[in-house]
Amino acid sequence: DVKVTQSSRYLVKRTGEKVFLECVQDMDHENMFWYRQDPGLGLRLIYFSYDVKMKEKGDIPEGYSVSREKKERFSLILESASTNQTSMYLCASIRGSNYGYTFGSGTRLTVV
Amino acid sequence: TQLLEQSPQFLSIQEGENLTVYCNSSSVFSSLQWYRQEPGEGPVLLVTVVTGGEVKKLKRLTFQFGDARKDSSLHITAAQPGDTGLYLCAGAYDTNAGKSTFGDGTTLTVKP
């Protein structure tokens, strides 16, 4: 069964900490994405990557960075966590434009 | 960012009833996806529609893509409590590295 695996289901971090969210896919997909999901705001794109070492900003990149050193792994980094980054973070990969996303199970991050 | 509007936002029905969820945009999409998401989990792809006017069936779920590829509907026949969840539509463009625009979702509750 093809999978996108997010390293943590739940995380609690302190304000100002540097936070790493890891995502691995086993489908050899070129494109990977990081979204955050908040009640009333839907899914908002933070960053995406269409190749190793390539990245593009999404709609809300401020306060985040990403790393894609290997095709299967796409990491989201919160440089200095803040309480307004408390959210559900979803990683996804895609085979091609018309195939739909495969999502991970999500990481529920709480910043205190 | 192009908008995808879903309606209704919330839907609470009794087991056995039928329902329709709508997804509308002013944009033309190369494809449109429907996802179902359960609490605490990532969205799971239900279907992709590509051709204008296309109709796809998945057991009791019927998906339709509008002729102009700007809108879509999801119809559920004889809803069951297991259909409870958040239903998301997402539109994709061929030339956008697989990036999709998501609707805000429809929260469906099916009471036994």
Per residue in A32-75, pLDDT tens? 999 999 988 889 999 999 989 899 999 999 999 999 999 999 99
State how far residue B28 is from chain A, nearest Cα, in angstroms: 14
pLDDT of residue B2: 54
> Which residue in B4, B28, B54, B102 has the most chain A C-beta atoms within 10 A of its own C-beta, making it the best mutation to test that interface?
B102
Q: Give residue B96's pLDDT band: very low, low, confident or very high (50, 70, 90).
A: low
Contact residues, chain B, for A9 at CB < 8 Å: 40
> Which residue in A97, A99, A105, A109 has the most chain B C-beta atoms within 10 A of its own C-beta, making it the best mutation to test that interface?
A97
Q: Is residue B28 within 8 angstroms of chain A, CB to CB?
A: no
| Angle (CA) B48 B30 B67, round 5° | 85
Q: What is the DSSP string of A42-91?
A: EEEEEEEEEETTEEEE-S--TTEEEEEEETTEEEEEESS--GGG-EEEEE
Give the Cα separation of A102 and B43 in Å (integer).
8
A8: DSSP letter? -
Whether cis (ω within 30° of 0) applies to the bond prior to B8 is yes
**What's the average model confidence in pLDDT over B52-62?**
96
Q: Is residue B44 within 8 angstroms of chain A, CB to CB?
A: yes
Contact B48 A100 (CB under 8 A): yes
- Pairwise pLDDT comparison (B99 vs A18), residue with the higher score: A18
Burial class (CB in 10 A: 0-12, 13-18, 19+), A84: exposed
Contact residues, chain A, for B93 at CB < 8 Å: 97
Give the helix/strand (H/E) hosting B51.
none
pLDDT of residue A41: 87
- How many Cβ atoms are within 10 Å of A111's Cβ, its own excluded? 19
pLDDT digits (tens, 9 = 90+) for A63-85: 999 999 999 999 999 999 999 99
